[in-house]
Structure 1
Amino acid sequence: MIDFYTAATPNGRKVAIMLEELGVPYRKHMVDLKSNEQKKPEFLAMNPNGRIPVIVDHSTEGDFPVFESAAILYYLSEKYDGKFFGANLQERTSAMQWMMFQMSGVGPNFGNLYFGKNSMNPPNPAFVERFEKESRRIIGVLELALTKSEYLAGTHYTIADMTTYPWIAAKLQMAPEMFSEAPKVKQWAQRISERPAVQKAMA
């Protein structure tokens, strides 16, 4: 059994997608971020960084906590026979590089753009301009990749897609105009949104 600590954020949803795709038993625990539940000692004992998501795998070897969303997806893939990762070194490396691109590029820039537009006080137009420009560039990188293959890491749906999709889905909902020149990204997102496990995880 796996305990899954999460919230309604893109980082939490990517792990939910993986768990649903694998079809493994898990218990979901919603963490109240507004009340700083993730900063309480019992949560910090699982993740000293005080962020969601976290899983705790209760196995025959004992309880094993894993934090950082990409690390969780990697762990679950390895645990369950390499599912959604790749059949060989090249496929796994391709999936890993796109996961790293999401963690270092997509998430931080989309997150900063949202903060600049919705929470920064006083407003800082230069800040917003910087992160909007970089977010558009990142969408262009994804578009280029998806003109060459059906999924980010190639012909197969992998943890690279699971990692990236919740961020793209959120941005498509909030700022669809940013995807006016990214038809392949929109097609990719639509294709993933139709998967039953994704629909359940995103609900």
Structure 2
Amino acid sequence: MSDYQLFLASTTNGRKITVLVELLNIQSKVEIITIDLAKKQQKEDWFLKINPNGKIPALASKDSSNPFYLSESNAILQFLVSKYDTENKFSYPVNSNNYFKTLELSLFQVSALAPVQGKIFGVIRNLLHLSESDVNDLYTEIKRVYQVLEDILKSNNTGFLVGDKLTIAEVFVLPWIEKAAFSKIDLTQFPLLNDLLKRSLQVPEIAKGLAY
């Protein structure tokens, strides 16, 4: 019997979770429930009890005697590795320098990458209508953000964003950079980031998680 329910949809934030579930091989530990965003299931009363913010992803424990709910994709990722990555295969020990570098990247992804590329998604899908100047500003900013990631890879010089192995640091950003072409971002301008994506897509668990 699974320990937790994961409420997801096929979005960049949803695919972060499915990638980690595959990497940790915890399909038996979590029950994935797909939320129909078009029908606004995430705004229904039952879901708002799980996440009052009305957004996916969200996590709920199956232990009725000790209810626990968690939202925000990167918080859920951190929770899952704390529960199921006890050998730190895809994370770093709490209080280590690389643990805090991972936290730093998590906050950067949420505050810098997601808002800008999310708006670009909206423009491309005709859900967000901006002036040509505003769209140009978005692309100037997203290229700056991608360059920051490129510079992190260059400085780290291991092929990875934090430390010397594939971790949730990559999981934070992979669903976003995997959508670079859709976002009309030329990833070849960022060769280290482009290489990271290509190598990551060769990992079967990552490819499967991103296909959700």
- Please give the TM-score of this superposition, normalised by the length of structure 2: 0.88
Question: In structure 2, what is the Cα distance between the partners aligned to 1:52 and 1:90?
Answer: 30
**Deviation of residue 93 (structure 1)?**
0.7
State the shift of 1:35 in Å: 1.4
Determine the structure 1 residue equivalent to 2:32.
28
> Separation in 1 of the partners of 2:69 and 2:129?
39
Match of 1:164 among 173, 176, 184: 173
67-76 vs 125-134, which moves further: 125-134
Q: Which residue of 2 aligns with 1:190?
A: 198
Higher mean alpha-carbon deviation, 123-132 vs 70-79, is at: 123-132
* Within-5 A mapping of 1:2-21: 2-21=4-23
Counterpart check, 1:85 vs 2:91: yes
Alignment equivalent of 2:61, drawn from 57, 81, 85: 57
Following superposition of structure 1 onto structure 2, how do residues 131-170 of structure 1 map, counting pairs within 5 Å?
131-147=138-154, 148-170=157-179
CA deviations over 1:76-105 (Å, ceiling 9, x no partner): 111122632213510101111111111111
Amino acid at match of 1:7: A
**What is the total number of aligned residue pairs between the two structures?**
202
Q: TM-score, normalised by structure 1?
A: 0.92
Q: Which has the higher helix share?
A: 1
Runs of 4+ with >4 A deviation: 120-123
Contact 1:116–1:124 at 8 Å: present in 2 too? no
Answer yes or no: is the 8 Å Cα contact 2:188–2:194 preserved in 1.
no
Quote the Cα distance in structure 2 between the aligned partners of 1:173 and 1:97.
27
| Residue pair 1:55, 1:65 contacting (<8 A) in 2 also | yes
Amino acid at match of 1:161: E
SS of residue matched to 2:160: coil
1:154-189 C-alpha deviation (Å, 9 max, x unpaired) = 212111110110011012344252x23211111001
* SS of 1:47 mapped into structure 2: coil
